[in-house]
């Protein structure tokens, strides 16, 4: 049982480049989300999904796109990377029932030069 798998673990981009952060879960969880972690600011919600075909914005969605074509996968796209997007990105999943514990991946450390 792999849980939540994120790839890549590390990435360095130049300003203006695009990339996709991958997230997959094998627990048949309906709810998936993306957070970014910055020092002293905890984790902030970027986008989330309550099921395949359904996505919505979180607290800090600008500069990021998501889609949810399957229950298992929830990729995060940076269309034109900016230095302000340098961060550690975490994907999480859970059952949809309100306030279920969330399972987190190990993160993608992204640097934008």
Partner 1 sequence: AQSVAQPEDQVNVAEGNPLTVKCTYSVSGNPYLFWYVQYPNRGLQFLLKYITGDNLVKGSYGFEAEFNKSQTSFHLKKPSALVSDSALYFCAVGGAGNMLTFGGGTRLMVKP
CA dihedral 100, 108, 73, 66 (to 10 degrees): 90
Cβ closest to partner 1, residue 81 vs residue 92: 92
Question: C-beta of 4: minimal distance to partner 1 in Å?
Answer: 7
Residue 28 binds partner 1 (CB under 8 A): no
Contact indicator for 72, 102 with CB cutoff of 8 Å = no
Cβ closest to partner 1, residue 40 vs residue 62: 40
Residue 41 binds partner 1 (CB under 8 A): yes
Instruction: Show the DSSP H helices in 53-92 as ranges.
Output: none
Question: C-beta of 42: minimal distance to partner 1 in Å?
Answer: 4
Structure tokens at 109: 């450390």
Contact indicator for 49, 55 with CB cutoff of 8 Å = yes
Question: Which residues are near partner 1 by CB under 8 A?
Answer: 4, 31, 33, 35, 40-45, 48, 50, 58-59, 90, 92, 94, 96, 98-107
């Amino acid at each position: 049982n792999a849980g939540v798998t994120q790839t890549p673990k590390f990435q360095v981009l130049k300003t203006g480049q695009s990339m996709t952060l991958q997230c997959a879960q094998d627990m048949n969880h309906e709810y998936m989300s993306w957070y970014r972690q910055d020092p002293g600011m905890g984790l902030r919600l970027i986008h989330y999904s309550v099921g395949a075909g359904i996505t919505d914005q979180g607290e800090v969605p600008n500069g990021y796109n998501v889609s949810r074509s399957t229950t298992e996968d929830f990729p995060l796209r940076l269309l034109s990377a900016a230095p302000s997007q340098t961060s550690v990105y975490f994907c999480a999943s859970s059952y949809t029932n309100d306030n279920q514990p969330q399972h987190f991946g190990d993160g993608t450390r992204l640097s934008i030069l």
